[in-house]
Amino acid sequence: ETVRNELEDFQKYLPLLVALRSPGMRDRHWEKITEDVGVTIPHDDPEFNLTKILEMDLHASEEALVKVCDVAGKEFGIETALEKMYGEWEGAELEVVEYRETQTHVIRIEETITQMLDDH
């Protein structure tokens, strides 16, 4: 019964802990948390652990913290998608050719390029 109660008490911290561990968290997000909440979280300190998070009473500012972490997660998703696109387009060559005999030029597009354009 005691273990159950402790787990139930701890469960309220899970959304905050998961949010703070977002892979998209950058220095600018930690600075935003400091600005919004007024607490500096030493995220890059190897001695910073769960006990210290609980001691800081960050749960009181959970809504503001989770909001910043959500933004970081969305930005991370965009960054990841862009990196993937850059990788796919790397090495792609576009050929510029004269259109008929009009002295106008057009881009000749291969099927693979057309498919990449459709995908992105």
Per-residue model confidence (pLDDT) at position 107: 86
DSSP state of 13: T
pLDDT at 32: 95
* Tens-place pLDDT, residues 45-95: 888 888 888 888 888 888 999 999 999 999 999 999 999 999 888 888 888
pLDDT (average), residues 3-23 = 89
Taking the model in full, what pTM does it have? 0.73
Q: Helix 111-119 vs helix 62-89: angle between axes, to the nearest 10 degrees?
A: 170
* pLDDT value of position 112: 82
Q: What is the structure's pLDDT at 75?
A: 97
Average pLDDT over residues 89-106: 86
- CA-nearest of 23, 18, 120 to 76 is 23
Banded model confidence at residue 28, pLDDT cuts 50, 70, 90: very high
- Tell me the C-alpha distance between 79 and 22, whole Å: 14
